[in-house]
Amino acid sequence: MIFTIEAILADGYAAGLLAIAAGLDRLARHVAVRPGHHPIGGLPCRPEHDARENVRTPPPWPHSEAGRFHRCLALVLVVLAASLTLVQAIRHPARPDLVLAAGTLAATGLTGWLLARRLRATPAGFPGPGREHEQPASPERTKDLGDSFS
């Protein structure tokens, strides 16, 4: 099998985009970890130093959306890789180039499917209209509000 140089470069570039997308997904998993669960995120109580634990709840937004942002960027790269591979397959319809493009498209499809599944599984923490910086209401406060938002 003899591949054209353009097909090798295009599919290699698409594979590089898929690798970057996988890296962004890994970064999304790392960013989505709550600060208290991260080894350096919380301040533990040290009795030997008589220090107190600093308890702070993370802001609900936009920090909670960082994982979704990275996963969306990764999906954009997957779509770009698929588009590049399809254009290369149309430009070079020789059998060896089509076999190479089919392998790249299979990897692109699998990566896109996995990333889309993870994106759908990531909960959205968008604030409601006019409630950008409010903390969630406590049950007692909710009882007092009644139907004032209707």
Q: Domain range holding 102?
A: 1-35+61-125
In a domain, 138, yes or no: no
User: Helix 95-121 and helix 5-31: axis angle, to 10°?
Assistant: 10
C-alpha to C-alpha distance for 78 and 80, rounded to whole angstroms: 5
- Please write the tens of the pLDDT for every residue from 56-89: 665 555 656 778 888 999 999 999 999 999 999 9
**Token code pair at residue 90:** 């149309």
- What is this structure's pTM? 0.66
In a domain, 99, yes or no: yes
In a domain, 87, yes or no: yes
In a domain, 53, yes or no: no
- pLDDT averaged over every residue in the chain: 77
Number of domains in the chain: 1
Let me know the angle formed at the C-alpha of 24 by 91 and 119, rounded to the nearest 5 degrees.
90
In a domain, 93, yes or no: yes
In a domain, 71, yes or no: yes
pLDDT at 38: 47
User: Helix 66-91 and helix 95-121: axis angle, to 10°?
Assistant: 160
In a domain, 54, yes or no: no
* Residue 18, phi then psi, degrees to nearest 5: -65, -35
